[in-house]
Amino acid sequence: MLEANPIFALLSRALDTAALRQAVHSANIANADVPDFHRLEVSLDPAGEPASAAAADVLPADFDARMDDLDAADDLEGMPHVISTNDSVRLDQEMALMAKDALRYEALLGAFERTTGLLDLAIREGKGV
């Protein structure tokens, strides 16, 4: 039943993307002192191709299947994938971006919880707790 609700599919995808962003921030911070390491980014550009074999691996195995199930897929942005930039890592910038994306992740969790709360209310026929 949950899969039938497009909101859950959207939120699930957004959470996957947010988790991927957190992974990329962590990788950038961890590799900041490695010579010749270039900053990684999550791209949602539908025309973009993964910069390396890495990008395909970081997505969930059933990501394509889940997206196929989503009726509103045409309205969404492209699949998130990891690309390498030409920039070096700046720790302050990376920390700020990580804080921002962590807030976004928490907001998505809140949205997920509110949506399940509505479903819960419907299951209880509006009787509350």
Partner 1 sequence: MSLYSILDISGAGMNVQQSRLEAAALNLANAQTTAPPGTPAYRPLTVVLHSARGEAGSLPLPVVAGTVPLNATPRLVYDPGHPDADAQGFVSLPGVDPIGSMLDLISISRSYEANLRAFDVTRTLLQKTLDMGNHR
The footprint of partner 1 (CB under 8 A) covers 19-20, 22-27, 29-35, 37, 40, 53-55, 57-59, 82, 91, 94-95, 98-99, 102, 105-106, 109, 112-113, 116-117, 120, 129
CB-nearer residue toward partner 1: 72 or 107: 107
CB of 19 to partner 1, least distance (A): 6
Give Cα 30 to chain centroid, integer Å: 20
CB-nearer residue toward partner 1: 72 or 118: 118
Q: Return the ∠ at Cα 110 (arms to 109 and 113), rounded to 5°.
A: 85
Q: How far apart are CA 31 and CA 26, in angstroms?
A: 9
Q: Which residue, among 121, 119, 111, has the nearest Cα to 12 in the 3D structure?
A: 111
CB of 7 to partner 1, least distance (A): 15
